[in-house]
A and B are shown apart, each in its own frame.
Chain A
Amino acid sequence: MTSPRSRLLDATALTLGFAFLYLPIVILVIFSFNASQLVTVWGGFSTRWYASIWQNRQLMDAAWMTAQVAAASAAFATVVGTLAALALTRYARFRGRTLFSGLVYAPIVMPEVITGLSLLLLFVSLGIDRGFWTVTVAHATFTCGFVAVVVQSRLVTFDRSLEEAAADLGATPAQVFFRITLPIIAPAVVAGFLLAFTLSLDDLVLASFTTGPGSTTLPMRIYSQVRLGVTPEINAISTLMIAAVTVLVIAASLATKRSASAH
């Protein structure tokens, strides 16, 4: 049994830990409802900054761009990542498997600055105009490894006899995949998509390297505005981003949980 004293200690540690993690965010959220023009002085509760960001053309354009990039890159990463996961779990003995799995996971651990720089060099040397598609490709490169990890963890526990049974009943390999395999791993694929979407939404570094004029993402816009001074509008848009990311992460974890329990 734990003594009241050690329980108190646990509670304190937990509180401090959470405070360390979330206090800055809480402060940001609180100040997004600040009526005052001055960021650090509380001037009463107001939602005026939320109303004013709708009028801020630059912010709204950046937000729309970010959403498009996130959707396109997550879709691309989901397809590539799922295929990679299938290859890694199904063809256990192919040549160069270790190298391949290393290559899939490398972007996860690679410093983003390096990934960004190398992609920039690639796009420049190929003479590709930087913009929406280069950011999208960069994000997909970075996030498909995460999708592969999520989908692979589901495939490891997948009962292969389900696919054999389907083939035995006359399903072609394509029918087996679309009628049996994909529906069963769908929650993991959805979780992978949501994760990729969130990561793309958050990214500043890769976007800074690979974007071009006219395709500024929201994190880039926020970053450049903050350098000129924090405005309450930035707090408001940041709060909205936090909300979006929270919803997506919760959705992703629910999907993962469903995929783990569905058997």
Chain B
Amino acid sequence: MEPPERPSRGAFAPWDEPAARPLVVFEGVTKRFGAETAVSDLTLAIYEREFFALLGPSGCGKSTLMRMLAGFETPSAGRVLLAGQDLAGMPPHVRPVNMMFQSYALFPHMSVEKNIAFGLEMDGRPRDEVGARVAEALRMVKLEGLAGRRPHQLSGGQRQRVALARALVKRPKLLLLDEPLGALDRKLREETQFELMALQERLGLTFIIVTHDQDEAMTMATRIAVMDKGRIAQVGTPPVIYEAPATRHVAGFIGEINLVEGTVSGCDGRRVTVATAVGDLTVADAADSVAVGQAVAVAWRPEKTRIVRAGEAISNGRAVISGTVHDIGYLGGRTTYHVDVTGLRLKAAVANAARSVERPLGTGEAVKLAVAPDALLLLVR
């Protein structure tokens, strides 16, 4: 899987600027539910105008983190700060944060218009202002004609838009989106992803999105925090998360990867050789420093693998692994080969750049996989 195309965000990287002050800070936050620890001593900073994704499997603590920000859960330890202010003891209704719920949580006894107006009415805004802003919000999500409908008279996509309009109409500093696209079908989901990004950019707001969908996070986010068992495994931009995963968990969670366990047999600065079941693999640029004899893993992406027939020649300098084709997955745009190598099954993905009806390789055929040293990743954790 390659990171999907995203609209350019220019040189937006406040997390690299030491002077930038984060909008949201989690400071050593722990949340326990009885004996269970949902979030464990977590520290994280999120900056203004970011589209930040909390990504992880269900039960990793990502929703709990968001609910602590909205005020529905209280941290067992640590602090949550918004624009430098400690949120402890501040009930949800006074926090300058709005949330879009996974279930949308539209009020069933109110019309679309009343749903959107609710937040403004709670703030005691004058009636004509409420009317104008609701109309504007309806225009923003292209639901002008449906103001009088009840939620149960709307389609899933329309409900999602009402929920978005309701959460945005108060112009919160920070919008929390809990699996906002989870209930939509695939096509609508992709369209909505880009709409959300455009909206966020246009309004200049900060979005935090909770999702278990890696494609969604990769497409939309400025940065992703990959969560695992209540901790953050890695925080980074989508390309960093994909090309330089910090742990085996992150490498396996984002996209497809070949992962081979082994022991360090040679060490020359950042150039590390690892003895594995598929032979010696040399990683050109290891991110972590390791010692000879240490147990590590070597990983690489299927699309960075060349696959050729056993007899064909391969340019020097590449790691070469011999095996037999077990299975071929033709996906139109690309073809994935599953190759058996001494008890392991490795993947090679080839982009089908030329139009060809015939498959160049068949199952059971002896092949060679070749990977460039700079495509190999060394994973210690």
Contacts and interface: CB of A to CB of B under 8 A. Distances in A.
Contacts of A166: 107, 118, 122
A162 interface: yes
A116 to B, nearest CB: 40
Contacts of B95: 168
Interface stretch (B98-106, B198-206, B246-254, B283-291): B98-106
Interface in A160-183: 161-162, 164-173, 175, 179-180, 183
Contact of B105 (A159, A170, A172): A159
Given A165-B99, A170-B93, A175 B105 contact: no
Contacts of B70: 164, 168
A162 to B, nearest CB: 5
Contact of B98 (A161, A169, A179): A169
Contacts of A170: 93-94, 119, 122-123, 170
Interface in B67-81: 70-72
Interface of A: 159, 161-162, 164-173, 175, 179-180, 183-184, 262-263
Contacts of B97: 168
B364 interface: no
B109 interface: yes
A183 B109 contact: yes
A262 B110 CA distance: 12
B10 interface: no
Contacts of A172: 93
Contacts of A159: 103, 105
Nearest to B102: A161
B92 interface: yes
A170 B97 CA distance: 10
Contacts of A184: 107-109
A200 to B, nearest CB: 29
Nearest to A172: B93
A262 B109 CA distance: 9
Contact of B122 (A161, A162, A169, A263): A169
Nearest to B108: A263
Contacts of B98: 168-169
8 contacts: A166-B122, A167-B92, A167-B93, A168-B70, A169-B119, A170-B170, A171-B122, A184-B108
B152 A263 contact: yes
Interface centre among A165, A171, A179 (most CB of B within 10 A): A165
Given A169-B122, A170-B170, A184-B109, A161 B93 contact: no
A162 B109 CA distance: 11
A180 B107 contact: yes
B166 interface: yes
Contacts of B94: 170
Given A159-B103, A175-B122, A263-B152, A168 B108 contact: no
A171 B109 CA distance: 16
Interface string B140-182: 0000000000001000000000000011001000000000000
Given A161-B101, A167-B93, 20 more contacts: A162-B108, A164-B72, A165-B99, A165-B166, A166-B107, A166-B122, A167-B71, A167-B92, A168-B93, A168-B95, A169-B98, A169-B119, A169-B122, A170-B93, A170-B119, A171-B118, A184-B108, A262-B109, A263-B108, A263-B152
